[in-house]
Chain A
Amino acid sequence: MLEEKNTTKEPSPISVSHYLDQLNRTLIKERAKIIGEVLEVKLYPERSYLYFTLKDKQDQSSINCFMWKRDFMISGIELKDGLEVIVTAYPNIYKPKGTLTLNIELIELVGEGALQIAYEKLKKKLELEGLFSPLRKRKIPDYPHRIGVITSRSGAVINDFLSNIGKFGYEILFVDSKVEGQEAIRDLMSAVKTMENKYLDVLILMRGGGSLESFQSFNNETLVRQIADFPAPVITGIGHDKDIPLVSLVSDRNVSTPTAVANLLNSSWSEAKSNINLICERIFSSFQSNIIDVFRKAENTMFREAEIIGSEIKRIGELLNQANRELFRGFETLSKNAEQFINQNAKTIELDSPMRQLKKGYSIVRSHGKIIRKIKDVKSGDELNVFVSDGAIKSRVT
């Protein structure tokens, strides 16, 4: 309790350094957009920062300004005394001197006239460098597949683009970015940087129409150079009123609307698709006429073959009749021959028959079962059987 009382009543002293740190922590929250004239520009070519004074146009109010060269480059403005600008900045106390300084994050030109002059100047410079030359333009590849898209997530542009991009199997990498006014520049640069190592076939940068002022970020020198050096071809679809944005001039292909960008990407695919359809039709029609040809030939062959088969059937039928006749004739001949043979043999047998000889008066003499042909075949006393036509006569050799 006692300690608490002491601290609320009497804060313990802190060092100057700590105090200034504390103040700066509060001051950083006082970020504002301030309009004024540039004076006493100190560019310090060797250093990474610069100084100038921002003075009120109406009275003598002024404040010292500090800016890192890196941020200054991004702003893409040429500083000179008397130039009217709008700065985005927060206050800060420079500790070694205790002076109040404005830390500038961004500088923009004021009014269309000033913007117009800056635009023309930068355009001329880049033109002389050859950055807009048609010779530098890269061809948008046929059949792009991997597509990087940088635009604002909100707004009609991305919807127009997506509803017009065909279904050709695209791989779309989207990076959301502010596209309005000078504040968009950091977003755009980091979006392009992100896309650099994504192995894209093509990068697309889009936004809708607007005043020259609202296009400021698309006239930024650093961004223009980033687009010029981008590893893949870049298509811009950045609407404009009068002056074409420098980013559109440096890109490899510039079209007016998100729909036109989508159509451009679709074109080679659509063409391929209609070519394939055409080829399909051609294949089918030539195939069809070939088929008709083959059928006609087959039909003719079949008719011819049918005739041949018909006559062949007739021929075989006749062949069978003939075989039938021959078969029976053959058999008849065979049996007739056999009959003849039998008859002939019968005759021969009949002619040679011993009975026929016996009838004629010849006889056959047998002794002991053997036919006697000579005198020496028998001896005295042998029994003889003499066969005549109607029987046998028994006798004896004397």
Chain B
Amino acid sequence: MSKKNNGNLNETLKKLAQIVNWFESQSELDVEKGLEQVKVGAELIKQSRERLKEIENEFKEIKKDIQK
């Protein structure tokens, strides 16, 4: 649940965007590097989803409070 484990969402999203860009700009056919990038990307997506879920839950709590 802690923010540390899942990292800063913003930072994670930036890293993910870099990986997606890497694929888009790829002219060489480095499948080994591609596999590495997919592994890292998948991990980042997982982290981001978890963090986003946390944020959403927290946000729902706060929203409930201020709308009382």
A27 is an interface residue with CB less than 8 A from chain B:
no
Q: Collect the chain B residues with CB atoms within 8 Å of residue A334's CB.
A: 23, 26, 29-31, 34
CA distance A324 to B43 in the complex (A): 10
Contact A331 B23 (CB under 8 A): yes
Q: Collect the chain A residues with CB atoms within 8 Å of residue B45's CB.
A: 320, 323-324, 327
Contact A316 B9 (CB under 8 A): yes
Q: Collect the chain B residues with CB atoms within 8 Å of residue A333's CB.
A: 23
Q: Collect the chain A residues with CB atoms within 8 Å of residue B56's CB.
A: 313
Write out, one digit per residue, whether chain B residues 4-25 have a CB within 8 A of any chain A CB (1) or not (0): 0000010001001101100110
A44 is an interface residue with CB less than 8 A from chain B:
no
A278 is an interface residue with CB less than 8 A from chain B:
no
Residues in B17-66 with C-beta less than 8 Å from chain A: 17, 19-20, 23-24, 26, 29-31, 34-35, 37-38, 41-42, 45, 48-49, 52, 55-56, 59, 62-63, 66
CA distance A330 to B19 in the complex (A): 10
Residues in A62-104 with C-beta less than 8 Å from chain B: none
The residues of A with any CB-CB pair to B shorter than 8 Å are 299, 302-303, 306, 309-310, 313, 316-317, 319-320, 323-324, 326-328, 330-331, 333-335, 337-338, 341
Given contacts A327-B42, A335-B31, contact A316 B23 (CB under 8 A): no
Given contacts A303-B66, A306-B63, A338-B29, contact A330 B23 (CB under 8 A): yes
Contact of A310 among B34, B42, B59 (CB under 8 A): B59
Contact of A326 among B13, B23, B63 (CB under 8 A): B23
A-B contact count (CB 8 A): 72
Contact B24 A330 (CB under 8 A): yes
- How many Å from the CB of A326 to the closest CB on chain B? 5
Given contacts A306-B63, A313-B55, A330-B24, contact A338 B16 (CB under 8 A): no
Select from chain A the residue with minimum beta-carbon distance to B51: A316
Q: Collect the chain A residues with CB atoms within 8 Å of residue B19's CB.
A: 327
Chain B interface helix/strand/loop/mixed? helix
Contact B20 A330 (CB under 8 A): yes
Contact A309 B23 (CB under 8 A): no
Chain B interface residue count, CB cutoff 8 Å, equals 29
Contact of A319 among B13, B59, B66 (CB under 8 A): B13
- How many Å from the CB of B35 to the closest CB on chain A? 7
Contact B34 A331 (CB under 8 A): yes
Contact A338 B23 (CB under 8 A): no
Chain A interface helix/strand/loop/mixed? helix
Q: Collect the chain A residues with CB atoms within 8 Å of residue B38's CB.
A: 327-328, 330-331
Contact of A341 among B13, B23, B29, B35 (CB under 8 A): B29
Given contacts A323-B20, A326-B20, A326-B23, contact A331 B66 (CB under 8 A): no
Q: Collect the chain A residues with CB atoms within 8 Å of residue B13's CB.
A: 316, 319-320
Select from chain B the residue with minimum beta-carbon distance to A317: B52
CA distance A63 to B17 in the complex (A): 131
- How many Å from the CB of B58 to the closest CB on chain A? 10
Q: Collect the chain B residues with CB atoms within 8 Å of residue A338's CB.
A: 29, 31
Select from chain A the residue with minimum beta-carbon distance to B66: A302
Q: Collect the chain A residues with CB atoms within 8 Å of residue B9's CB.
A: 316
Q: Collect the chain B residues with CB atoms within 8 Å of residue A327's CB.
A: 16, 19-20, 23, 37-38, 41-42, 45
Contact A323 B16 (CB under 8 A): yes
Q: Collect the chain A residues with CB atoms within 8 Å of residue B49's CB.
A: 317, 320
- How many Å from the CB of A336 to the closest CB on chain B? 10
A-B contact pairs, 24 of them (CB 8 A): A299-B66, A306-B63, A306-B66, A313-B55, A317-B52, A320-B52, A323-B45, A324-B42, A326-B20, A327-B20, A327-B41, A330-B20, A330-B24, A330-B26, A331-B35, A331-B38, A333-B23, A334-B26, A334-B30, A334-B31, A334-B34, A335-B31, A338-B29, A341-B29
